[in-house]
Amino acid sequence: MKLATRAKIVWCPGCGNFGILKAFKDAAAELAEVMDLKKMVLVSGVGCHGKIADYLTLSSFHTIHGRVPAMLAGIKLANPKLTVVGFAGDGDAYNEGLVHLIHAAKKNIDATLIVHNNAVYGLTTGQATATSAKGFRGRSTPEGNPEEPLNPVALMLASGASFVARGYAGDAKHLKEIIKEAILHRGFAFVDVLQPCVTFNNTWKLYREKVYKLEEPASFDEALQLAYTQDRIPIGIFYREERSTYEELVRVEPRSADVSALLERMK
Ligand SMILES: Cc1ncc(C[n+]2csc(CCOP(=O)(O)OP(=O)(O)O)c2C)c(N)n1
Ligand code: SF4
Ligand SMILES: [Mg+2]
């Protein structure tokens, strides 16, 4: 299946989003051997990251700012047979829509969420987000960001996500493997991706120096400890567990009889 659309890619040259697009495309191409990509639905949020859905031929829904996790939950509840994958920005997921993110993890919605974490509001030209570094100078913080950044991996572990990972846009091969595992995971799979924004928060050098790959940790406590690693930045799968998904607990059944009756009435 051809995955690239004819849409012109409008991201700035050198943007980390290119690595995420490549990793996802390669993951989807490999997953096509074991699943029907026509039953995959993508959801993207508002921001530079949101354009990713325009560059992929898969079914997609471009939702409003911060609501990617809520859309994933709604789509999965309406039709549990679909595989749902969301792309959100850090401003989108960790500021505007943080409550939706926490509850999707808590409920263990069977969905994957990939967060393009460039630690800046990119599309609106460089304001600080929840993950911006202390001291970050941008449009809303000309004197330097006074806050400490949020730790998304620790937050998702504490919120109950059953798969928690961090990838790096500069290592598309490694990220592809994480994305494949996340999509195959049954339950809420969260992937925070370190994504340099060359225009408003160029972190390529920092990540090149600090990122290292993890062995998969054995326990929740170990994962939490790793989430707080200082000085270096671990990437890989921090934690995964098997537990009932929200859809299973609320017993959503495809209501085929009702749908047939409805279609009959519409004739
Ligand atoms: C409810 C709402 N608030 C604010 C905006 C304005 N807005 C559009 S894009 C954007 C920044 C998006 O930043 P992020 O989610 O980090 O994505 P990025 O552009 O960095 O990929 C904002 C604040 C909006 N469209 N809707
Ligand atoms: S502004 Fe930043 S995030 Fe947006 S396309 Fe350009 S480099 Fe990428
Ligand atoms: Mg951003």
The domain limits of the chain are 17-266
Predicted confidence at residue 218, as pLDDT, reads 81
Q: Is the pLDDT of residue 251 over 60?
A: yes
Predicted confidence at residue 255, as pLDDT, reads 57
Predicted confidence at residue 252, as pLDDT, reads 52
For the CA atoms of the chain, what is the radius of gyration? 18
Ligand nearest, relative to CA of residue 92:
1
Q: Is 48 in the pocket of ligand 2 (CB under 6 A)?
A: yes
**pTM assigned to the model:** 0.95
Summary mean pLDDT of the chain: 95
Identify residue 1 by its one-letter amino acid code: M
The count of residues in the chain is: 267
Asked whether 151 and 134 are in contact (CB, 8 A), the reply is: no
Predicted confidence at residue 267, as pLDDT, reads 73
Predicted confidence at residue 256, as pLDDT, reads 60
Q: Is the pLDDT of residue 257 over 70?
A: no
Helix boundaries (H) for the chain? 17-31, 68-78, 90, 98-107, 152-159, 172-184, 204-210, 220-227, 246-249, 256-266
> Of all atoms in ligand 2, which is nearest to the CA of residue 195?
3
Asked whether 1 and 39 are in contact (CB, 8 A), the reply is: no
Asked whether 243 and 108 are in contact (CB, 8 A), the reply is: yes
Q: Mind listing the pLDDT tens digit for each residue in 36-69? A: 999 999 999 999 999 999 999 999 999 999 999 9
Quick one: CA torsion of 87, 198, 126, 102, rounded to 10 degrees? 30
Which DSSP state fits 138? B
Predicted confidence at residue 138, as pLDDT, reads 97
The class that CATH gives domain 17-266 is alpha beta
Q: How far is the CA of 139 from the centre of ligand 1 (A)?
A: 14
Q: How far is the CA of 88 from the centre of ligand 1 (A)?
A: 10
d(CA 218, CA 76): 29
